[in-house]
Amino acid sequence: MSNEKTIPYKIYLEESEMPKQWYNVRADMKNKPAPLLNPDTLKPITHEELGNVFCDELVKQELDDTTAYFDIPQEIQDFYKMYRPSPLVRAYCLEKALGTPAKIYYKFEGNNTSGSHKLNSAIAQAYYAKKQGLKGVTTETGAGQWGTALSMACAYLGLDCEVYMVKCSYEQKPFRREVMRTYGANVTPSPSDKTAVGRKILAEHPGTSGSLGCAISEAVEAATSKEGYRYVLGSVLSQVLLHQTIIGLETKAALDKYDIKPDIIIGCAGGGSNLGGLISPFVGEMLRGEANYRIIAVEPASCPSLTRGKYAYDFCDTGMICPLSKMYTLGSGFIPSASHAGGLRYHGMSSIVSQIYEDKLMEAVSVEQTSVFEAAQQFAKVEGILPAPESSHAIRVAIDEALKCKETGEEKTIVFGLTGTGYFDMFAYGKFNDGEMNDYIPTDEELAVGFAGLPNVE
C-alpha cells in the first residue's frame, strides 16, 4: 500500500523515466483483432496496398500484431519532451468536494496547444512521413483537436498539412481553424467540392453538416490523387493506438513510482485510440495474468458504438474507399444528431478496443450529454481545469464510481484519462450554461438504418 502523505498533487516522471518504446497490446492478445480487408477483394489487405494510403513505416506498425514493443525514434522522444511527461494528478480537491473515500487520479493530456492527447500520434505520423521524403499529409478533423495536433507536428517538421474539417465544427469553431492556420495548415470544410467523393456527398445530401466518415473519405482521396502525399488518421487505427500507449505507459510508471494499484481505469471512447492507449499496459497485465483491473469505456448515448453497435466488418469511412475493419460499429452511414456536442462522433471503434471488449476485458457504458457537462462544470470548479466535452465523459463515470464508494465506504483507487481541455468548446458550454442543451438518444429504428448499410462480410 502507498503512503498517502507522500503522494503529491501532480506526479511527474523525470525525463529519464519517460517511456522509450510504445507497447503493442496485440502481441499479448490470444484473440487477435481481425485483419483489415481490401474493400474490393475482401481479402486481408497487403503492405503494398496500404502503402498507397499510409507511410511505409506506419503500414508496418498497422499490420504487426506480434511485436510487443516498438522503439520511439529519438526525434519523437525529443518532441515529446517539449510537452511530456504529462502529469498524473491526484484529484484531492474533487475527492474532498464529493466527500468520497475513493482516491481519484487523472492523467491530464491537455497541457499542449492541440489541447489533447492527439499530438502523441500526430508527431509520430508526421515524422514517418518526413522520413519517407514526402511533401505533406492530408487528414480529417472533427472537433478539431486532431487537425490542430497534426498542423503543429507538420509546422515543426516543415511538412505541408491539408485538413478536411467536418463542416459543423468548421462553422462552430472558427478559432480552432485559426489555430491551424497559424501553424500553416490548409483547412477545408467537409464535404467540399475539392474531391469527387465530397461532390458526390454534397449532391446526395445538399444541406449536410458533414461527418467524420465523410471527411476521412475526402482526405484519403486528396492524399492518393497527388504525388508525395499520404493520408494520416487521428484515431481508430492500430498504429494510432500504438502511439497513444505513451499515455498508459507513463500512467503506469507514475503509479508504480508511488506503489499505487488502481482498481478502476476509465477512459472516454470515440475511435478508441486514447482509451486504448491508456488501458493497453493494464490490459497487457491482465492478458499475461499478472493483475486484474476493472476497465470502463465511456461513450456518448448519442453515438453508442460499443453499447448498442454490432461487432462486424464495416467501412471506416462514409465514402467506402478505406479498408474494411472488424469493429463495434453503428454503420458507416450513421451520423450523430446535430445536437451532439464535441467529438466522440465516429460510427465505429478501434479493432483492438473492440476485441478487448468482445473478450470481456473491459466494460462499456453510455452517458447523456447534459450529465456530462454537469460533471465537467463540477470538475472545473474544484480542479481548476476546464475539460473537453470528450474527456468529461470519463469524468462523469469517475464521479459516479467515486459516489458509489461514498455509499459503500470502499477506498477504491480510480484512474481516468483527462484527454484534453475545452477552450475551443465554449459554444457547447454556452448552450449548457443557457440551459439549451438536450439529450438525444437514437431510437432502435434510427440505428437500424446504419446497420442496414453494413457490408456482407463474415
Residues that bind its own copies (CB under 8 A): 8-10, 12, 14-15, 78-79, 81-83, 89, 92-93, 111-113, 115, 119, 152, 155-156, 174-175, 178-179, 181-184, 377, 380-386, 421, 423-424, 426-427, 429-430, 432-433
Q: At closest approach, how far in Å is the CB of 79 from its own copies?
A: 8
Q: At closest approach, how far in Å is the CB of 373 from its own copies?
A: 9
CA nearest 197: which of 208, 186, 183? Answer: 208
Q: At closest approach, how far in Å is the CB of 277 from its own copies?
A: 19
At residue 149's C-alpha, the angle toward residues 144 and 155, to 5°, is 125
CB-count burial class (<10 Å; 0-12, 13-18, 19+) for 131: middle
Helix axes 369-383, 389-408, angle to 10 degrees: 80
CA nearest 238: which of 280, 266, 295? Answer: 280
**Residue 117 vs 308, nearer CB to its own copies:** 117
Q: At closest approach, how far in Å is the CB of 192 from its own copies?
A: 20
Give the integer Cα–Cα distance in Å for 266 and 175. Answer: 30
DSSP conformational letter for 144? S
**Residue 120 vs 355, nearer CB to its own copies:** 120
Q: At closest approach, how far in Å is the CB of 258 from its own copies?
A: 13
Q: Output the nine-digit C-alpha cell for 90.
A: 491526484
Neighbours of 271 (CB within 10 A): 29
Report whether 267 contacts 416 (CB < 8 A).
yes
How, if at all, do strands 103-108 and 413-418 pair? parallel
Q: At closest approach, how far in Å is the CB of 411 from its own copies?
A: 21
Cα dist from 137 to 161, 191, 240, whole Å: 5, 18, 15
φ and ψ at residue 174, rounded to 5 degrees: -60, -25
DSSP conformational letter for 14? -
Per-residue DSSP letters for 321-352? -SPEEEEEES-TT----TT--SS---SS--HH
Q: 106 in helix, strand or coil?
A: strand
**Residue 54 vs 429, nearer CB to its own copies:** 429
**Residue 127 vs 183, nearer CB to its own copies:** 183
Q: At closest approach, how far in Å is the CB of 311 from its own copies?
A: 38
**Residue 377 vs 413, nearer CB to its own copies:** 377
Q: At closest approach, how far in Å is the CB of 433 from its own copies?
A: 5
Give the integer Cα–Cα distance in Å for 219 and 100. Answer: 47
φ and ψ at residue 376, rounded to 5 degrees: -60, -45
CA nearest 348: which of 362, 327, 321? Answer: 327
**Residue 48 vs 436, nearer CB to its own copies:** 436
Q: At closest approach, how far in Å is the CB of 45 from its own copies?
A: 34
**Residue 284 vs 417, nearer CB to its own copies:** 417
**Residue 143 vs 349, nearer CB to its own copies:** 143
**Residue 115 vs 213, nearer CB to its own copies:** 115
φ and ψ at residue 11, rounded to 5 degrees: -100, 115
